[in-house]
Structure 1
Amino acid sequence: MIDAVFSSHVPRGLLAAALLAWAQPALADGRLDAKYVLSVGGVELGRASVVVQAGASTYEISGSGRITGVLRAVSSGNGVAAARGVLTPSKMVPRVYALNAEADGKKEGARLAMAGGAVAEMEVEPPLRPAPDRVPVTNATLQDIIDPMSGAFVYVPEPTNPLSSAVCERAVPVFDGRQRYDIVLNYLRTEQVKVSGYKGPAVVCGVRYKPVSGHRPSRYTVQYMVDNKDMFVWLVPIEGTRLMAPFKVSVATMIGTAVFQATSFSAKAQNGAVPVSAPKP
């Protein structure tokens, strides 16, 4: 998968050095293989697959997705993304993130190398277009960040109970190569969920979007998401790890409620070196 993500560019400097780490398989204490369906108003629009491996000190996340359902009749699209980093006693620290996506013939890509929680080098395609009302992305806003793939998972350090309300009480500082924003979580409840491969508790968090830089405050869609109080995520534990994975995400949109729901969720504790390969949705 990493070869596919980076095939359009030969990375340099810190980005090239970070990629060398992908050649070494991670020692995994736990692995997740999950499949998801995206729907809006109950109508399927896409499918995705995710593989996660995490050990005592490292993690890898690899995912792919494509347009399906009725939307496929009028549009086409697919994408792959990957992230890798280290686990400290208190948090996830990403080292490299890559995204390649294509929709209706238009390509988009992002490659980030990170060091010490800050962006050290990046490549974004196409470049972000200048706009007079765009809040500039500065070095100050690129400190202590996490990439979107890593940020979709919650790391619960010892001795916190992975199924406690503390899982939700946090702000996730995300940078995707274009925008820097916080995803603010708050605890709502714990409920039972069931799908192929998993039956058990899920911690339900309310979600709020807080833009920091790279966005255009005058745009209606930005203000809509800032004011949106109907966003929720269901988190479940990945066996053998301290990671919580999204089981379901629900977001109110201007055309209906978008739901990203697991259709299979296989999490297993394991030991040994097993490399992550590209999943197929």
Structure 2
Amino acid sequence: MRRTAIYCLAVISIVLTGFASASAEDISQETVYTLSFSGIRIANAAFNTTVKDNRYSIAADIKAAGLGSLFSDIAVDVKAEGVWKNNKPETRQFDLTYREGDDERTYSAAFSRNRVTSAEVNPPHGPRGPDWVEVESRHLRNVIDPISALLLPASKNPCYGEIAIFDGETRLNLELAPVGSRPFSTTGFSGRAIGCAVRFRPIAGYEREDDDIEYLANTRELVVWFAFNDELQVYAPVMAKIPLKIGQLQIYASKFGV
């Protein structure tokens, strides 16, 4: 279940840090999401972003809520920090703590110039099996953390390209393609949302025979919808439908950048 949660986090990663227009003043914003599984609310996710002097910090807190018992023992705390350079975010530090029942594990990675300089999993995993795909040094270049990953700059066609992600253990790519637009309204936003079809491609730091990873890698139904924040000049996710082997996870922004 940990991997599914991490990969869903990568898909819904929220960055509301319009650095190009924010250097002259501090910015503090919050976006809140409701996560539902097969129509039942299972969790709330709050992403708090601060920007100061072209440095950003994003703290995310995902906790179980509602009547959903399937995910009731899962909680995720995340923090990403970095700088804005050449109209792109550059991660400096990423930390994720994943709790499932009494088990807790932290994934950390330090970055410099778009490269991973160190990574740690605590407590460490035991010996890996023959299906484990090892992360090599070549996998750790030109990467970004999963929270800063889906910052889509202002563009006529933002849903193009490939995003390389490292979360402290796993290296993966997200491939984006446009699927149109639709009306969207919530607290803090009313307008049109842009749809991106997302292809999930695991690269290293995973087990080849993992059923959840295989299912995500083969699906053609993963779509994320982005809204544009006028003040911050970025696109950020407001809706997502993530097909899992056991059902569909839906994410909806009940509060956007306020």
Question: TM-score if structure 2 supplies the norm length?
Answer: 0.84
C-alpha distance in structure 2 between counterparts of 1:111 and 1:28, whole Å = 30
Report the Cα offset of residue 204 of structure 1: 0.7
C-alpha distance in structure 1 between counterparts of 2:195 and 2:155, whole Å = 10
Asked whether the 8 Å contact 1:181–1:211 carries over to 2, the reply is yes
Question: In the TM superposition, what whole-angstrom CA distance separates every residue of 1:28-82 from its partner, at most 9, and x where no partner exists?
Answer: 5544311111111111111111112346733221110111222348842322111
Q: Would the alpha carbon gap of residues 175 and 73 (structure 1) be closer, same or farther in structure 2, given more than 3 Å must change?
A: closer
Report the Cα offset of residue 265 of structure 1: 1.5
| Aligned counterpart, 2:216 | 225
| Aligned counterpart, 2:139 | 141
Report the Cα offset of residue 87 of structure 1: 1.3
Question: In the TM superposition, what whole-angstrom CA distance separates every residue of 1:2-40 from its partner, at most 9, and x where no partner exists?
Answer: xxxxxxxxxxxxxxxxxxxxxxxx975544311111111
| Aligned counterpart, 1:18 | none
C-alpha distance in structure 2 between counterparts of 1:255 and 1:214, whole Å = 23
| Aligned counterpart, 2:30 | 33
C-alpha distance in structure 2 between counterparts of 1:208 and 1:36, whole Å = 22
Counterpart pick for 2:108 among 106, 111, 134: 111
C-alpha distance in structure 1 between counterparts of 2:112 and 2:71, whole Å = 41
C-alpha distance in structure 2 between counterparts of 1:38 and 1:67, whole Å = 9
Superposition map of 1:7-22 within 5 A = none
Counterpart pick for 1:196 among 174, 187, 192: 187
Asked whether the 8 Å contact 1:30–1:239 carries over to 2, the reply is no
Report the Cα offset of residue 99 of structure 1: 1.3
Question: TM-score if structure 1 supplies the norm length?
Answer: 0.77
Question: In the TM superposition, what whole-angstrom CA distance separates every residue of 1:221-270 from its partner, at most 9, and x where no partner exists?
Answer: 22211111110111112333233211111111122221111111134xxx
- Are 1:50 and 2:42 counterparts? no
What one-letter code is carried by the residue in structure 2 that aligns with 1:191?
R
Asked whether the 8 Å contact 1:118–1:145 carries over to 2, the reply is yes
| Aligned counterpart, 2:129 | 131
- Are 1:206 and 2:197 counterparts? yes
C-alpha distance in structure 2 between counterparts of 1:199 and 1:171, whole Å = 28
What one-letter code is carried by the residue in structure 1 that aligns with 2:219?
N
C-alpha distance in structure 1 between counterparts of 2:169 and 2:214, whole Å = 17
| Aligned counterpart, 2:256 | 265
| Aligned counterpart, 2:89 | 92
% identity of equivalent residues = 23
C-alpha distance in structure 2 between counterparts of 1:74 and 1:139, whole Å = 34
C-alpha distance in structure 2 between counterparts of 1:55 and 1:203, whole Å = 28
Which structure has greater strand proportion?
2
- Are 1:70 and 2:67 counterparts? yes
Counterpart pick for 1:242 among 233, 238, 246: 233
Q: Would the alpha carbon gap of residues 117 and 209 (structure 1) be closer, same or farther in structure 2, given more than 3 Å must change?
A: same
C-alpha distance in structure 1 between counterparts of 2:163 and 2:71, whole Å = 35
Asked whether the 8 Å contact 1:30–1:240 carries over to 2, the reply is no
C-alpha distance in structure 1 between counterparts of 2:167 and 2:185, whole Å = 31
Q: Find the structure with the greater CA-based Rg.
A: 1
Structure with greater contact order relative to length (CA < 8 Å, sep ≥ 6): 1
What one-letter code is carried by the residue in structure 1 that aligns with 2:86?
P
C-alpha distance in structure 2 between counterparts of 1:132 and 1:78, whole Å = 30
Over aligned residues, Cα RMSD in angstroms? 2.1
Q: Would the alpha carbon gap of residues 205 and 28 (structure 1) be closer, same or farther in structure 2, given more than 3 Å must change?
A: farther
* Structure 2 gap ranges (5+): 1-22
Q: Would the alpha carbon gap of residues 67 and 32 (structure 1) be closer, same or farther in structure 2, given more than 3 Å must change?
A: same
C-alpha distance in structure 1 between counterparts of 2:41 and 2:200, whole Å = 24
What one-letter code is carried by the residue in structure 1 that aligns with 2:236?
A
SS of residue paired to 2:93: strand
Count of aligned pairs: 235
